[in-house]
Amino acid sequence: MRISAHGSDVLVVGGGIIGLVTAWRSAQHGLRTALADPEPGGGAARVAAGMLAAVTELHYGEQMLLGLNLASAARYPAFVAELEEASGQKTGFRACGTLAVALDSDDRAHLRELHALQQRSGLESEWLNGRECRRLEPMLAPGVRGGLRVGGDHQVDPRRLASALVTACERAGVVLHRDRVQQLSVTGGRATGAVLADGTELAADQVVLAGGSLSGRLAGLPEAVVPPVRPVKGQVLRLTVPPAYAPFLSRTVRAVVRGSQVYLVPRANGELVVGATTEEMGWDTTVTAGGVYELLRDAHELVPGITELPLTETRAGLRPASPDNAPLLGPTALPGLHLATGHHRNGVLLTPVTGDVMAHVLTTGELPEVGRPFAPNRFSPSSGTASPEVPAPQEQPV
Ligand SMILES: Cc1cc2nc3c(=O)[nH]c(=O)nc-3n(C[C@H](O)[C@H](O)[C@H](O)COP(=O)(O)OP(=O)(O)OC[C@H]3O[C@@H](n4cnc5c(N)ncnc54)[C@H](O)[C@@H]3O)c2cc1C
């Protein structure tokens, strides 16, 4: 076994956007920080659409999460400005807003309910009739019955965000180990580092587990602190809007078609992301004909002109989901071990606030107020919330 020459104050396991933002903020706070991942900047952000949808993604029973989502959305403009400055890279952030539309009377009733819930929650959204929707987005289907204009739900390009975070980490002095963590090291009832697949042992005063949907699979985790996180598969398509067709859409457009969410996210560079399926399929990331068919069918009902566009990419990724769809942030029952995982369908949105919460925890030992409802101990047996079974992966976890 090789021992790394120097230990660090913080070791982050996992270099998706959540691990990267944790490491970047930790290093900015003066902590000697290391991060291990075979492919930093990979993970679900390679697939995600990048909607920053605090208001349009509001669901009944998720008011606690709403507070965190809004706190992160409010941070976004300053966060991307700081990240772009630190990395010298653009993130594709667009303050373009969102239009959620209804295609039939059932959809309209559903959207009316969402509007009422948004209003009760003090959120800004405006009801438009079908003609007003089409005036904003002329490519919408003629049958659109009405919609909600949400001016504050913007977007970012998750791939560029992840790439900028890798560079910002490197420039802030984070030591990147491009290898898989084989096992957490626990000594004297405390997390003390980790062992990489190549045998290198990394010592650290504090370890942050940010392994996305694989967080529950890390060897060496005592049973009591295994995070109840499971993978939720999502398939996504990427199309290209040729310059002659631009502007095809000016803002994110979404709808519920036959009970399934479909959204179209137009980037400034001509990319149009169409997503996403939601499937409980364990670690399967196969792109299926059925998934692609359903997305194209639903998107075509919403915006018929999409069938003219080149289809450039199909992909599937895994959302790391917790039992209440909210993240797990901060200390666990194992001293020295923290979690930053379970961000499910809002991980891109929650990146800025997660960085701030984790830096606060790592420097003070306490969760800041905004992060307190998301402490991992809400799922401990004494809290009365049962943890779900974590299914076995179909292939060697990375
Ligand atoms: C189809 C789809 C659409 C989405 N759309 C949106 C959206 O529009 N808006 C939004 O806000 N969010 C969206 N999300 C969610 C968002 O992408 C995720 O919540 C977020 O990317 C999770 O980031 P993460 O860093 O926690 O996990 P991941 O991205 O899964 O990264 C985990 C990392 O940990 C590494 N790792 C795991 N185990 C180990 C180990 N033992 N050793 C070393 N490294 C390890 C992996 O290699 C990986 O790089 C979407 C997700 C999907 C799949």
pTM of the model: 0.95
Burial classification of residue 243, based on how many CB atoms lie within 10 Å of its CB (0-12 exposed, 13-18 middle, 19 or more buried): exposed
d(CA 12, CA 266): 33
Ligand 1 contact, 234 CB (< 6 A) = yes
The CA-based angle 194-199-201, given to 5 degrees, is 35
Ligand 1 contact, 317 CB (< 6 A) = yes
User: Contact 233/220 with Cβ under 8 angstroms?
Assistant: no
d(CA 72, CA 327): 13
Residue nearest to atom 16 of ligand 1 (CA): 347
d(CA 18, CA 337): 16
What pLDDT is stored for residue 397 in this prediction? 32
Q: What is the DSSP string of 283-348?
A: T-----HHHHHHHHHHHHHH-GGGGGSPEEEEEEEEEEE-TTSS-EEEE-SSTTEEEEE-BGGGTT
d(CA 14, CA 341): 10
Ligand 1 contact, 37 CB (< 6 A) = yes
3-state secondary structure of 368: coil
Ligand 1 contact, 157 CB (< 6 A) = no
CA of 243 to the centre of ligand 1 (A): 32
The two tokens of residue 140 are 């919408």
Q: Tens-of-pLDDT digits for all 398 residues of the chain?
A: 444 556 999 999 999 999 999 999 999 999 999 999 999 999 999 999 999 999 999 988 888 999 999 999 999 999 999 999 999 999 999 999 999 999 988 889 989 999 999 999 999 999 999 999 999 999 999 999 999 999 999 999 999 999 999 999 999 999 999 999 999 999 999 999 999 999 999 999 999 999 999 999 999 999 999 999 999 999 999 999 999 998 899 999 999 887 788 999 999 999 999 999 999 999 999 999 999 999 999 999 999 999 999 999 999 999 999 999 999 999 999 999 999 999 999 999 999 999 999 999 999 999 999 999 999 999 986 664 444 333 333 333 33
Beta strands at 252-257 and 98-102: parallel, antiparallel or unpaired: parallel
Ligand 1 contact, 44 CB (< 6 A) = yes
CA of 223 to the centre of ligand 1 (A): 23
**Torsional class of 138: left (φ above 0), alpha (ψ -120 to 50), beta (otherwise):** alpha
Atom in ligand 1 nearest the alpha carbon of residue 397: 38
- Our mutation pick for probing the ligand 1 site, out of 214, 325, 396, counting the most ligand atoms within 8 A of Cβ, is 214
Atom in ligand 1 nearest the alpha carbon of residue 347: 19
Ligand 1 contact, 213 CB (< 6 A) = yes
User: Contact 183/77 with Cβ under 8 angstroms?
Assistant: no
Beta strands at 260-266 and 311-321: parallel, antiparallel or unpaired: unpaired
Beta strands at 98-102 and 146-150: parallel, antiparallel or unpaired: antiparallel
CA of 105 to the centre of ligand 1 (A): 35
Q: What is the DSSP string of 233-273?
A: EEEEEEEE--GGG-SS-SSEEEEEETTEEEEEEE-TTSEEE
Helices marked H in 29-157: 63-87, 105-120, 130-136
Residue nearest to atom 51 of ligand 1 (CA): 48
What pLDDT is stored for residue 83 in this prediction? 98
Sign of CA dihedral 44, 47, 52, 54: negative
